[in-house]
Amino acid sequence: MTDLILHKNKQYIDEDLAYYFSRQRDVNNQIRPQESIYSLSPDSQHFNTDFNDGKVGSLFFPIAAYSIDRIYIGISFPLFANNWGAAFLRYLMTRVKPSGCVILPVYPEMQASEKNYWSRSILENTFLSRSRWKGTSNIWAENDGVMSMRIGRKFPAEMNSTASFFFEESGNSILRRSLQAPFHNTSNQQQLFELGQHYWNTANTYSIVERIILDYFGMQQAVTLCDISDSNGLMAIECLFSREINVTQAVSFMTDKTHINDTSLLSKRYHSVIKNRFKSIDSSITDTLNDIANYKVICLINTTTNGATSDKTNEVIANALDKLMPGGILIVHESQGLSDDVLQLLDNYPMTSYYSSIVASKLQNGDAISHYSSIIETELVSENNNRKYAYIVIQKHH
């Protein structure tokens, strides 16, 4: 029997395993993993794996379809309850045997809503399992905080998401580039790792941005989005796919159209869904901001890697605020942390809010955010105390 478990990274392995080996979670030994369970994480570059080498394998390793008995999602693994997360769960279901299952932590309804994590009702509604055998998959309640997904009468239909595109097309993309440039110095494994990291990091950024837009504008209000980030258009496209927010137009600053992270094939594949709602601009941040008269949402995320050098950050922020329509929001974030000068500048704006970069939750002074992982709970407290790593949201006066 082959069991796999997914972790945020290797520092969480012991806690993730303890969650599933605990008798509290599995009193009747229904889902307890094998002792030989194999760990995967998105930051591992170990691709030469046979699931018996005792190492931590890469999440992006091309697992053969219907070859794994059970796949567990660790409590540290940030899988949000949105379109990307649903597409990823569907992908995992194509990796397990017909008699196998995907096992994941679920939160009580209020806690799940707080963090945009999976609850039992969200899982069942997403995969239409409540109509008895007519559902597209079976969702089984196991024990406290755990559920499993098993292949039901009808397999879930493919979902429009960058997750589906990556896991179906990434290997083909690497192979095509390898054949076109056989003397390229970069190994196929390194290319696949870099591409996987790009999609994975964007998935987490998108989940936070989606939650912010939902909190400010709800599900129905039309939103125009300006995406200035290091996602190379991926985040904007995923926002167009979202079933939770109504993004009607997305303009993205494209840092490098010739890079391995090129999104042109992605936008072509989903042209019938995206239509003319997505536009990429590769000239400058200023041109991107000026493409539409006014935006409802502007994202300045990891702009130091996008050509907005530190001495121009204040100017970029001022220009972005000027391009917002009344009531619109500016979302600012740097994964390496905002400088003290920029943080002080943003703190001085009225109508400023802060969102966690770890879970899709608004940060409130003195309010702790619960999590199944005690390590992550500690990280959330630290983030709330030092908000240079948080997402900062500024709303323009109406």
pLDDT digits (tens, 9 = 90+) for 215-240: 999 999 999 999 999 999 999 999 99
Q: Quick one: pLDDT band at residue 77, thresholds 50, 70, 90?
A: very high
The DSSP symbol for 362 reads B
Average pLDDT over every residue of 312-320 = 88
The pLDDT value recorded for residue 310 is 52
The pLDDT value recorded for residue 260 is 62
Q: Quick one: pLDDT band at residue 163, thresholds 50, 70, 90?
A: very high
Is the CB of residue 56 less than 8 Å from the CB of residue 46?
Answer: yes
* Residue showing tokens 């199944």: 372
Enumerate residues 6+ apart whose C-beta is below 8 A from 285: 228, 253, 303, 306, 307, 308, 316
The pLDDT value recorded for residue 154 is 77
Q: Which of 338, 272, 345, 273 is nearest to 308 (CA)?
A: 338
**Residue scoring higher pLDDT (78 or 169):** 78
The pLDDT value recorded for residue 109 is 93
The pLDDT value recorded for residue 267 is 87
pLDDT digits (tens, 9 = 90+) for 16-67: 999 998 876 665 667 889 999 999 999 999 987 789 899 999 999 889 899 9
pLDDT digits (tens, 9 = 90+) for 346-393: 888 888 999 999 999 999 998 999 999 999 999 999 999 999 999 999
As to burial, measured by CB atoms within 10 angstroms (0-12 exposed, 13-18 middle, 19+ buried), residue 294 is middle
CB atoms within 10 A of CB 244: 15
Which of 31-40, 135-144, 269-278 is predicted with the least confidence, judged by mean pLDDT?
Answer: 135-144
How far apart are alpha carbons 312 and 331 in whole angstroms? Answer: 17
Phi, then psi, of 114 in degrees rounded to 5? -60, -40
Q: Quick one: pLDDT band at residue 257, thresholds 50, 70, 90?
A: low
* The two structure tokens encoding residue 57: 């394998």
Is the CB of residue 281 less than 8 Å from the CB of residue 263?
Answer: no
Mean residue pLDDT of the chain comes to 89
**Residue scoring higher pLDDT (141 or 383):** 383
DSSP for 243-282, written as a single string: SSSEEEEEEEE-S-TTSTT--HHHHHHTHHHHTTSEEEE-
**What radius of gyration, in Å, describes the C-alpha atoms of the chain?**
21
The pLDDT value recorded for residue 136 is 65
- Count CA within 13 A, CB hemisphere, residue 238: 31
Q: Quick one: pLDDT band at residue 145, thresholds 50, 70, 90?
A: confident
The pLDDT value recorded for residue 311 is 54
Q: Quick one: pLDDT band at residue 189, thresholds 50, 70, 90?
A: confident
pLDDT digits (tens, 9 = 90+) for 95-110: 999 889 999 999 999 9
**Residue scoring higher pLDDT (161 or 344):** 161
The pLDDT value recorded for residue 343 is 87
Average pLDDT over every residue of 294-308 = 83
Q: Which of 230, 224, 207 is nearest to 391 (CA)?
A: 207
The DSSP symbol for 367 reads P
Res. 304: pLDDT tops 90 = no
